[in-house]
Amino acid sequence: MTNVLILGASGYIGQQVSRAFSRAGFRVHGVVRNEEHVKTLAQDEIYTIVGDLKRPETLVEHFDLADVIVDTSIDYNEPAEYTKNLLVAVKKAGERRAQRGGQLTFIHTSGVWVQGETGFQGVSQDSILQPLKGVEWRIKVEQDVLALQQVPNIRVVVLRPALVYGRTGGYFDSLFSGLTTGTIRLPGSLENSLSTIHVDDLAELYVKVAEHAPVLKGQTLTAANRSSESVQDIVRALRRLAGKREVKVESFKPTNVNDEGVTLTQVIDTRSTRAVTGWEPRKRTFVEGVAEYFQSWKATNQQ
């Protein structure tokens, strides 16, 4: 049985990725920072490792046992330095794997914001990068990840998800929260369109990448729905949920990189990703499934 090590297994994306690998028949080990997440992951039949991801050298034995390492973690304070240390540990694990045979697959999570403002003409993963200010560091990290391909017995793939929605977590939580208070706040002009992906569909893509790693090694793939969603359509969908109850929409000036990202217009062409992996998003878009997504959010957040 293939052993998968998920870094950041208790996170919004990491938890669903862990579950997807478990459903697909992999033996999954999830690295988390705090003991409080152990029970939740154990309920999902995932072996839990409590460790300090800022000190990946302390996880050597777990790196060595893994056939696939999936990085869904991030340190928002020093992301570039954190990832640099992680890649050193992965490289050493790959070198040790080369000595005893076998292959190590490393899947790194980046994001489509490195592609910046695309306009409505759309871009693919091979287009020239014009990163959003604040995520420029991701480009160097992607390059360093792909450089690991030079180590014998390491296969690497970079995955760039679009804006993630579904279940609980992610940026869209703030919209549902605003719906309950009567004021939805969004950054920018509200005239843009967002590239999106449901967290379950994204999780399934990680599994596809691991299964097809021999032919995908060294590639960068994007994860997004076939079509983008306009912010105006998102607002209209939320107002329909409110029914007769008045809901105000307020625009504000972005104050951080997440807000800036939501002001981008992005149309991401994922035909290449679908062709090489056989993956296809199956969940409804945020606008199409907003009622069920709101119900899921309420069940989680309004105890």
Q: Which residue has the tokens 């995932």?
A: 46
Residue 32's pLDDT band (cuts 50, 70, 90): confident
Q: How far apart (Å, rounded) are the C-alpha atoms in residues 163 and 208?
A: 20
pLDDT at 84 (0 to 100)? 86
Q: How far apart (Å, rounded) are the C-alpha atoms in residues 163 and 262?
A: 8
Q: DSSP 3-state assignment of 303? A: coil
- Here the tokens at position 299 are 């069940």
pLDDT at 55 (0 to 100)? 82
Q: How far apart (Å, rounded) are the C-alpha atoms in residues 303 and 293?
A: 16
pLDDT at 303 (0 to 100)? 55
Average pLDDT across the chain, whole number: 92
249 against 75, higher pLDDT: 249
- The pLDDT of 76-104, averaged and rounded, is 86
Is the model's pLDDT at 185 over the cut of 80? yes
Task: Write the CB contacts of 77 (distance below 8 Å, at least 6 apart in sequence).
Answer: none
Please state which of the ranges 36-40, 116-120, 165-169, 299-303 shows the lowest mean pLDDT.
299-303
Q: Which residue has the tokens 């062409």?
A: 269
Is the model's pLDDT at 205 over the cut of 70? yes
pLDDT at 85 (0 to 100)? 86
Of the chain, the percentage scoring pLDDT greater than 90 comes to 73
Helix or strand run (H / E) with residue 30: strand 27-32
Domains located in the chain, CATH noted = 3-229+256-301 (3.40.50.720)
- The pLDDT of 175-204, averaged and rounded, is 96
> How confident is the model over 114-131, as pLDDT tens digits?
999 999 888 888 888 899
Q: DSSP 3-state assignment of 92? A: helix
Is the model's pLDDT at 56 over the cut of 90? no
13: left (phi over 0), alpha (psi -120 to 50) or beta: alpha
- Here the tokens at position 55 are 């000190």
Cβ-contact 228, 266 below 8 angstroms? yes
Alpha-helical runs (H) found in the chain: 12-23, 38-43, 60-65, 79-100, 137-147, 173-181, 199-211, 213-216, 231-242, 257-262, 271-277, 290-301
The gap between the terminal CA atoms of the chain, to the nearest Å, is 39
From residue 174, alpha-carbon distances to 22, 144, 250 in Å are: 30, 34, 13
- Here the tokens at position 74 are 């991030």
Residue 62's pLDDT band (cuts 50, 70, 90): very high
- Here the tokens at position 229 are 């969603």
Cβ-contact 265, 119 below 8 angstroms? yes
> How confident is the model over 93-106, as pLDDT tens digits?
999 988 888 899 99
Q: How far apart (Å, rounded) are the C-alpha atoms in residues 194 and 162?
A: 8
From residue 131, alpha-carbon distances to 94, 113, 116, 138, 198 in Å are: 30, 6, 4, 9, 23
Is the model's pLDDT at 46 over the cut of 80? yes
- The pLDDT of 273-285, averaged and rounded, is 97
> How confident is the model over 127-183, as pLDDT tens digits?
888 999 999 999 999 999 999 999 888 999 999 999 999 988 788 999 999 999 999
Longest dimension (CA), the chain: 67
